[in-house]
Structure 1
């Protein structure tokens, strides 16, 4: 038990490029259709609403950044 507590790994500092990677978000929007994944109307609607909310959120963040730094 004591050895586990002593072997704490130091946190790796993320670079600017690593901090803003959109790999998971890009994979969510542009992945291939999986034939083994179950498909029903509720699941399709849920993912559609999630995609819309992500897009609106990113547009809002871009608007705030543009308004703050350019206007």
Structure 2
């Protein structure tokens, strides 16, 4: 390993691993006129949003069961 890869690893903090801004930004982003608009692409993003919600709900349930 080089020193650059070691520096990148040491810069990650515990707080950075639990940032959910990009996840929630995926649900509430605005319309982009440059983004292609097809039916299959909209359905793919819809399914992705549903699967992310189910994953986050399951993660909350697992954490709450472990704590309580």
TM-score, length basis structure 2: 0.80
- What secondary structure sits across from 1:21 in the alignment? coil
The alignment yields a C-alpha RMSD, in angstroms, of: 1.7
Deviations along 1:14-46, one digit per CA (max 9) or x if unpaired, are 323211011221221111110121111111111
TM-score, length basis structure 1: 0.77
How many pairs are equivalent? 65
Where has structure 1 moved over 3 Å in runs of 4 or more?
Answer: none
Structure 1 gap ranges (5+): none
Judge which range, 19-28 or 41-50, deviates more: 19-28
